């Protein structure tokens, strides 16, 4: 069976800045200058206050694990399993979440609420994926 490539995020108008920042080693989000809300995925307007004056700000990269699943099913030929899919909540804002992989952590030690820190895996010249590892391991 042939091995398929891992799909990489396309650079789209509203997402390119996010992926490019990751490639530069920074986790950045669109930010509302009026109400301070961090907007993810990025929108050209703030969903909280409809503010239109937005910029982009870096965050600490610290997060807590909100939920997770250990995936055992290979979704394409050659995909290595198992791996941990995590939904992490960044410390800067309740509900600001990223779906990601939890790495550098034995499966049996993964638990909801654990403290995590971002690291980046370069996948192309323009894109890196934000992954998360236990804070004590980084």
CA–CA dist 98, 70 (Å, integer):
16
22 binds other proteins (CB under 8 A): no
Q: Report the candidate in 54, 53, 56 with the shortest Cα–Cα distance to residue 26.
A: 56
Q: Please report how many Cα atoms fall inside a 13 Å half-sphere around the Cα of residue 129, on the Cβ side.
A: 15
- Contacting residue, 56, 57, 62, 101, with other proteins by CB under 8 A: 101
- Contacting residue, 5, 24, 53, 136, with other proteins by CB under 8 A: 5
Chain positions contacting other proteins, by CB under 8 A: 4-10, 12, 15, 40-41, 47, 66-73, 75-76, 79, 83, 85, 87, 95, 97-101, 112, 123, 129, 131
């Amino acid at each position: 069976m042939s091995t398929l490539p891992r799909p990489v995020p396309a650079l789209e108008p509203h997402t390119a800045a996010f992926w490019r920042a990751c490639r530069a080693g920074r986790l950045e989000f669109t930010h509302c200058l009026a109400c301070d809300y961090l907007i993810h995925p990025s929108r050209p307007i703030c969903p909280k206050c409809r503010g239109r004056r937005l910029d982009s700000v870096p965050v600490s990269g610290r997060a807590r694990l909100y939920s997770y699943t250990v995936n055992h099913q290979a979704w394409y030929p050659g995909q290595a399993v198992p791996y941990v899919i995590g939904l992490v909540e960044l410390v800067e804002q309740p509900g600001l979440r990223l779906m990601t992989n939890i790495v550098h952590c034995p499966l049996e030690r993964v638990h909801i609420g654990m403290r995590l820190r971002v690291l980046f895996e370069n996948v192309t010249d323009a894109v890196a994926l934000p992954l998360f590892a236990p804070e004590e391991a980084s």
